[in-house]
Chains A and B, each alone.
Chain A
Amino acid sequence: MARPPNPYTKLAGRGLRRIAFGISATRCQLWLGEDHLLAVDSTIASEEYRRFYYRDIEAFIIRRTVQRTVTNWMLGVLALVMGGPLAALYFSERGNVGLLIAAIGVTLFWLLFLVINTLRGGTCQTHIRTAAQLEQLPSLQRIPVARKALARLQPLIIAVQGQATPEELAASPWMAPENVR
């Protein structure tokens, strides 16, 4: 007997939910369903699900983080620390081409990661807000990926909720000056 078609489509991006000291065993993914966004947290033996219904989503917040810059600095320092001494040895023992090749190879190895990290785009933290919760989406940790996900999610939310016009936003009670700090 043929299985019924699965209603979910995967959204780009995957990430880890940090538990403590940067250690995590939980992998996070997002899936688009018919009427909800499904956040899946997987461990080795189980999966946990959180459903955000399109009708309930109030806001989608992307915040740029400095993780990419920090990682680039670390990779740059690694390239320098590992390639530098080999280059220094080459210049002190002139003619040893092996040392030069090793210096260039090691430096390029770390610089390759630096370039990849740079090209993947800025890092961010993404949150989704409903009336009941503000939930982080660890799978959306790069700005281009988060924007891509938002571009797919937005029409689905608008199809259910409609679009908030600037006039509606301006007329809402929370636009009152006492609510704006």
Chain B
Amino acid sequence: MTPRLVACTKCRTPLPPVLYNTGNLRACPSCRARLQVEVFPAVLRPPGLGVAGETVVLDGEATCFFHATKRAVVPCGSCGRFLCAVCDVEMNGEHLCSLCIESGKKKGRMQKLENKRTLYDNLALAVALIPMIFGYTTIIGAPIAIFIAIRYWNAPSSVVPRTRWRSVVAIIVALLQLVGWAVVIYFIASSKSHH
């Protein structure tokens, strides 16, 4: 069996189990780094073995949609295709096929599979604030910030709790910039007309 001892995160030396679950920092026997190692029963679990689908033996038996020679064990909970043990993916107590998982991931229906999200509120705020460093670039940044904030107002934000204050601040700052530009243009135009 492959040793599954927890290794020191500095020198990668496997740590003796006497150092586990002590609740205190203990020295690594190799590099003397001080470590606290908390081990849970999952470490005792043997590595999982893959399953092979059962081959169809009787005529008329339901077969897998993806493997015509394998016996179906369950229908997909989303599309209803018959699946063999290889193609069956259990997720939150539901049996799904790989195609449904892929399309669910793409459409954002399966939050637990999402590993990236764009934060449009942050983007709008950045587009509103960063051009202020240069001043004159706000004339381009402000309309873009307002567009992003409004266009993606209802777009899914972070998966963790998050309010919309960034979008609101981005719109207010961008509007103030546009008002500022309107005032500047008005004064330039009025001073030219006086001349």
Which A residue's beta carbon lies closest to that of B120? A45
Q: Residues 120-137 of chain B: 1 if any A CB is under 8 Å from the residue's CB, otherwise 0? A: 001100100000000000
A172, CB-defined interface residue at 8 Å? yes
In Å, the complex CA distance between A32 and B95 comes to 26
In Å, the complex CA distance between A61 and B16 comes to 14
In Å, the complex CA distance between A45 and B120 comes to 7
A21, CB-defined interface residue at 8 Å? no
A161, B5: Cβ atoms closer than 8 Å: no
Among the 9-residue stretches B37-45, B59-67, B172-180, the one with 4 or more Cβ atoms under 8 Å from chain A is B37-45
B9, A164: Cβ atoms closer than 8 Å: no
Which B residue's beta carbon lies closest to that of A178? B3
Which A residue's beta carbon lies closest to that of B33? A63
Which A residue's beta carbon lies closest to that of B16? A180
B34, A63: Cβ atoms closer than 8 Å: yes
Q: Residues 134-161 of chain B: 1 if any A CB is under 8 Å from the residue's CB, otherwise 0? A: 0000000000000000000000001111
Which A residue's beta carbon lies closest to that of B43? A58
B116, A59: Cβ atoms closer than 8 Å: no
Question: Distance in Å from the Cβ of B151 to the closest Cβ of chain A?
Answer: 14
Contact partner of A49 (CB less than 8 A), chosen from B21, B39, B114, is B114
B17, CB-defined interface residue at 8 Å? yes
A55, B42: Cβ atoms closer than 8 Å: yes
Q: Residues 5-23 of chain A: 1 if any B CB is under 8 Å from the residue's CB, otherwise 0? A: 0101010000000000000
Which A residue's beta carbon lies closest to that of B23? A147
A48, B115: Cβ atoms closer than 8 Å: yes
B4, CB-defined interface residue at 8 Å? yes
Q: Residues 4-36 of chain B: 1 if any A CB is under 8 Å from the residue's CB, otherwise 0? A: 111011100110110011000100011001111
A8, B43: Cβ atoms closer than 8 Å: no
Question: Distance in Å from the Cβ of A42 to the closest Cβ of chain B?
Answer: 7
B194, CB-defined interface residue at 8 Å? no
User: What residues of chain B have their CB less than 8 Å away from a CB belonging to chain A?
Assistant: 1, 3-6, 8-10, 13-14, 16-17, 20-21, 25, 29-30, 33-45, 47, 112, 114-119, 122-123, 126, 158-161
- 8 new A-B contacts at CB < 8 Å, known A147-B36, A174-B17: A51-B112, A58-B39, A58-B43, A61-B6, A163-B41, A164-B44, A180-B5, A181-B14
- Some 30 contacts from A to B, beta carbons below 8 A apart, are A8-B159, A8-B160, A38-B159, A38-B160, A44-B122, A45-B123, A47-B116, A47-B119, A49-B159, A51-B112, A57-B40, A57-B42, A58-B6, A58-B43, A61-B6, A62-B36, A134-B9, A147-B36, A161-B41, A164-B43, A169-B17, A169-B20, A169-B44, A172-B44, A174-B17, A179-B14, A180-B17, A181-B13, A181-B14, A181-B16
User: What residues of chain A have their CB less than 8 Å away from a CB belonging to chain B?
Assistant: 6, 8, 10, 29, 31, 38, 40, 42, 44-51, 55-64, 125, 127, 129-131, 134, 136, 143, 147, 150, 154, 157-158, 161-164, 166, 168-170, 172-175, 179-181
